Each structure stands twice: as C-alpha cells, then as structure tokens.
Amino acid sequence: MHRQSQVMRAIGTPFVADLLAAVDRQLDKAPLSAALIRSWGDTAASSAIAMRINAALHALARRGAEPELAALYAGENARFDEAVALALASHDEFLVDWLLRVPQTNEIGRAAAFHAALMVLATDHGHPFHLFEIGASAGLNLNLARYAYELGGVRTGDAASTVRIAPEWRGPPPPASSVTVAETRGVDLHPLDVNDPAACERLASFIFADQPDRARRLDRALDIARRHPPRLDTGDAAIWLADRLAAPGADHRHRVVLHSMVLQYLGTASRATIEASLQQAGAAATEARPFACIGFEWNAARDRVELRLRSWPDGRDRVLAYCHPYGAWIEWLDV
C-alpha cells in the first residue's frame, strides 16, 4: 500500500496518495481486510489491490455511509487517518466484498491510445476495422469511434461528440489517417450494464476523487453507451477469443484485438491460450484480411505502460508509445 501511495503521487493524484498512505497506517482497524490483503503477497500490485480498496472507500464516501470519510472526500477537512480509521473499523465486511472483485475502471482516456494505434494501421492497410475487446467491462472503449480526439495537434474522431479526449502529447504526432470502425464486440467475465445504476456507481467509484474531469467524461461516455449500446458477451476471455478468431475474417476487413490493463488479472494458462489464438489468426492473415492486436499494459518490470501494436501479415511487433496508466499523457515514439 505504501508503494502504491508513492505511485499515485508520481502520476499526479495526491488525494489518493494520502488516502492510501493512511490505509497503510490504519489497516489493522479492519482485521478481515488486512488478512485478505496480506494473503495476496507479491501479487498485490498486479492484482491492483490498492485500487480496489481506494474504490471501496470512494464508494462509501459517495454513499455518505461514513460522515467523516464523506467530509474528507468533499474537501471539508484533511484528517485522512481519522476518517480512514473509522471507515476501516466500521465497514470491514463491505471492504472485503470490494477487495474480492476485479477492478472495473473502463477508463476511456485509454481510447486515445487505441485510436492512435488504429491510425497507424489505417495508414498501412486502409480497411474498415472489426474490433474485439477482451476485458471490456461496460464496453465504453468499444465506442471509441464515437469520441473526439486531439492527438499531438491532429484532430480526429467524431467532432460533434460530447466526449473529448486530448491527452498531453509528447513526441511526434500520429499519422493523420481516418479510422473507420465497421463492427465491435467485447467480452468480460462480469460485463457492466450501463443502464444499471449500481454498475455505473461502481465505475464512478474507480475514478480518483481528485480528478473531476475524468468523472464528467465518464458520465458522458455512459450516456453515449446508453444510446449506442456496445455488443458485450459474458465469458472467459481466452475461450471467447479463440471462438471469435477461429473463423477467417472477411475480405477487406481489418480484425483487431484490443486489451487494456487486463493481462495482469489472467492466469498463465489463459494468457497462453490467448497468445496461441493471436498467433493462429496472425498466421492466417493476408493483405486483404489483415489482423492486429493492440495492447495497453504494464511492461514486465511494471515501471511503465506500453502501447504495443502487433500486426500481420507483416509480423511486426512495435511499442508505439509509453503512456500514463489512465491516458493523461502519451509519449509517442518515432517508430
């Protein structure tokens, strides 16, 4: 928890940094949660345990379930230890429930990175895209063609969209190629229904409390998703992807697999199955039926997030950019 507090401060979320530092000091006030967190051991970081407990506390504050905590989140005081201690002591079982659930961030700021990578592919091939997303949550990133972007001075996407994504851009701009999305489909073990108030509240709780712009952007993306529901399946990502990619793609259609901050939650066998599916689809790709995979994931050392593009039939594997974990900035590489 202490290390994640430092990470949060480094990426520009001081409130969350102070909150997690207080959790680290006060954790034994919630013995059930403390035992569960410690049972994760070395996998706590890759399982995003700090983000789970941060979201749980945010949920409690949003509900007004703990007045001192609600006041802290409202900026009425800065008594982090007092508010966190009271919340931990009074809501241990609630916290355990949140800790046992995989995070559902569905951060649409990452759509800017996906869109930039699709611009690279559009330059190379020019075919309409058929997108497959694993770990899609509520499917908000499947609506990426319905958002407006400013990427290194390049304006693209739907100019009339209420969702505008303009990350701090470092390095050269992406290629100014038009992106056409013909079809999308996603999968999640527990997809969130954008018409379910509880599901939307869960998504809101994973937004950092000191980033109101992200919260407003989420609300707008949810509104778009209600008008244009993403096509989502419930299922295991590895099995689903194998089934989707088993059949050959259509001529002049570019199939692309997307994933963001998902692989860390999958076991070794699932990752191996996914890789086998990607390789099989890649081996079958042609110029008329190209295939690609775009990943937005931590590197092996977990010291930076990489936007990685793997494409076929050329067989190229490129890191296009280094990114802020939630898309606040993109450092585009000259590749």
Q: Cis ω on the peptide bond leading into residue 167 (within 30° of 0)?
A: no
Q: What is the pLDDT of residue 216?
A: 95
Task: In whole angstroms, give the CA distance from residue 13 to residue 148.
Answer: 25
Count other C-beta atoms under 10 Å from residue 296's C-beta.
24
Beta carbons within 8 Å of 81's beta carbon, 6+ residues apart? 22, 25, 26
Q: What is the pLDDT of residue 102?
A: 84
Q: Which residues of the chain have pLDDT under 50?
A: none
- DSSP secondary structure letter of residue 190: S
Note the pTM of the prediction, 2 decimals. Answer: 0.92
Domain boundary residue, one of 58, 80, 99: 99
Task: State pLDDT tens for residues 135-188.
Answer: 999 999 999 999 999 999 999 999 999 999 999 999 999 999 999 999 999 999
For 24, the token pair is: 């680290």
For 111, the token pair is: 């759509």
Q: Give the total number of structural domains in the chain.
A: 2
CATH number of the domain enclosing 129: 3.40.50
Domain boundary residue, one of 80, 99, 118: 99
Based on the fold, state whether residues 75 and 120 are members of the same structural domain.
no
Based on the fold, state whether residues 187 and 220 are members of the same structural domain.
yes
Q: What is the pLDDT of residue 259?
A: 98
Based on the fold, state whether residues 149 and 293 are members of the same structural domain.
yes
3-state SS class at 158: coil
* Segments forming the whole domain that contains residue 206: 108-332
Based on the fold, state whether residues 183 and 265 are members of the same structural domain.
yes
Q: What is the pLDDT of residue 7?
A: 85
> CA geometry: angle at 93 spanning 92 and 96, to 5°?
90
Based on the fold, state whether residues 127 and 273 are members of the same structural domain.
yes
